[in-house]
Structure 1
Amino acid sequence: MKVIICEDDSIHRQFIYDEIKCYAMFHEPSIEIVLCTGNPDDVLAYLEHHKADCYFLDIDLQHKLSGMDIANHIRQHDSIANIIFITTYANQLKLTFKYNLAALDYIVKTDMLSLKEALLHAIQVAFQKYQQLSHVENLNYFQVKVGQRIKQIPFNDIYFFTTSIQAHKIELYTKSSHHQFYGKLKDIESMLNEHFFRCHNSFIINLHHIKETNSLERTITMVNGMMCNVSFRAFYKLQKLLKNQQGAAPNNNG
């Protein structure tokens, strides 16, 4: 989950940063602070080419743009991002309702202890919502744990999965990377869509990335040049799938 913090008070900004960073380190390593600033222009510049999943926005930023202006910009492009407003004055929260800026939470800055409790509650709720949305919305992504982080890989970037020579491990080959993780092909198969095919006990391939098939050797060459085995029964089913797949035109050698 990518987080942006926009708070003009340097003490509060550092405090918010440290608390979220600490929480991520010990509880959810996949939470990443991608921007921490006191300048709304920095947020808008970032959003020109990127997006985040959760925003902590001070309402009064001592700038021509307020936290509500940033939130309005976010909502124009992202209706599901988590927005948490932070303010010193509770009466400012009424303005968020006036401008129909749906927020996940509202934090009033009082003492640091109360601020810490409110921040931890907000980041926990935001991460839970993020996970729920990831499950529902990101049906075209495969999640793999890389070190202490969870990486989401678009299905379209995946070439194939295969069993590793290391017991209980799976190897994943994509357009730009190679990952190894604990798992079973049977479980992975149930997480994928119709563009993937279990062609062998040891392989699940992406039908969109087949370069050619060899009926004599019962092998598939993927677009990255790597070969995958195909079982006798699966080969004929594969040929039928490729014929029915719109735009698929594999070369059959032999």
Structure 2
Amino acid sequence: MLNFVLCDDNKIILDRLSKVLESLFIKHNLDAEVSFTSIDPLSTLEYVKSNTVTAIFLDIDLKSNISGLDLASKIREIDNKVYIIFTSAHLEYILIAYKYKTFDFIPKPITSERLEETIIRIINDIKDYKIKTKFIRLSNRNTIINQDSVKYIKKDGMKLVFYTDTRKYETYSSFAKISNELPPNFIRCHKSYIANVDKITDIDTNNNLVFFDSKNNSSCYIGPKYKNKLMEVFNYDGNNTNNLDSIDHTK
């Protein structure tokens, strides 16, 4: 599921923007929702830290000591993939706004037609990104791995170890770099592990483990810092051991 976040100091604008977005999701048959809205930049930042967010719409003048530009800067420190869209009547900030890898700048007052253009661009960009990033090229060898075959990636000292359906591959590369290059179905679940959520079959919260096959022979750890974000992906129900066979992994 695609999760959208809205932050604006005007509650009326927040409510209207949320309703228009939800109607556009229905119109375009998108598996998406407005998962969080707030007039407070700090609560918005905390939500982004602990949840998987696809796109965030930010007002620039938030009537706070933290502006939308400040908030975008802090968000970029923790998430390099989220789509940032500024909404503001202050057109003089357009050039500055794009400093934060901004996807779009929508002038206020916002029209539903202009908003729809942005949503369509986001969806097309996600589709293009999935096509372009279908394969991973290892940096120290002429080896290309199909992303669909990767269960999880482990940081082992200076090396990265890719565990796939058939074997493991080792390469020397930056963990942070590979994290930013992978598509949204790869989630950081531990300081030393990235999991492909499409491959997860079970979650054991007693032992903080995720499993990648029905016999539970392939697994990696869940770190406390990353647990909420991983659980949110599966709408986790709180059981100690969760079988994920019935979960729609496209969400």
User: What TM-score, normalized by structure 1, do the two folds share?
Assistant: 0.53
1:130 is the counterpart of 2:175: no
Aligned partner of 2:53 in structure 1 is 52
Q: What do the CA deviations read for 1:115-173 (whole angstroms, capped 9, x no partner)?
A: 211111111211222344355277447x8xxxxxxxx534564425xxxxxxxxxxxxx
Aligned partner of 1:177 in structure 2 is 243
Aligned partner of 1:194 in structure 2 is none
Alignment of 1:26-45 (within 5 A): 26-45=27-46
Identity value in percent:
20
Distance 1:49 1:180, change over 3 A: closer
Aligned partner of 1:209 in structure 2 is none
Q: Which has the larger radius of gyration?
A: 1
Distance 1:49 1:119, change over 3 A: same
Q: What do the CA deviations read for 1:198-222 (whole angstroms, capped 9, x no partner)?
A: xxxxxxxxxxxxxxxxxxxxxxxxx
Structure 2, unaligned stretches of length 5 or more? 135-146, 152-184, 186-196, 201-209, 215-240
Alignment of 1:1-254 (within 5 A): 1-97=2-98, 100-110=99-109, 115-134=111-130, 136=133, 139=148, 140=150, 153-155=198-200, 157-160=211-214, 176-179=242-245
Moved over 6 A (4+): none
How many Å apart are 1:63 and its aligned residue? 0.9
Contact 1:53 1:130 in 2 (8 A): no
User: What TM-score, normalized by structure 2, do the two folds share?
Assistant: 0.54
Distance 1:19 1:128, change over 3 A: same
CA distance in 1, matches of 2:199, 2:68: 32
Report the count of equivalent residues: 157
Q: Secondary structure in 1 aligned to 2:9?
A: coil
Structure 1 counterpart of 2:71, one-letter code: I
CA distance in 2, matches of 1:83, 1:7: 13
Query: What CA RMSD, in Å, does the superposition of the two structures yield over aligned residues?
Result: 3.1
Q: Secondary structure in 2 aligned to 1:62?
A: coil
CA distance in 2, matches of 1:64, 1:119: 28
Q: What do the CA deviations read for 1:221-245 (whole angstroms, capped 9, x no partner)?
A: xxxxxxxxxxxxxxxxxxxxxxxxx
Distance 1:16 1:132, change over 3 A: same
Structure 1, unaligned stretches of length 5 or more? 144-151, 161-174, 182-254
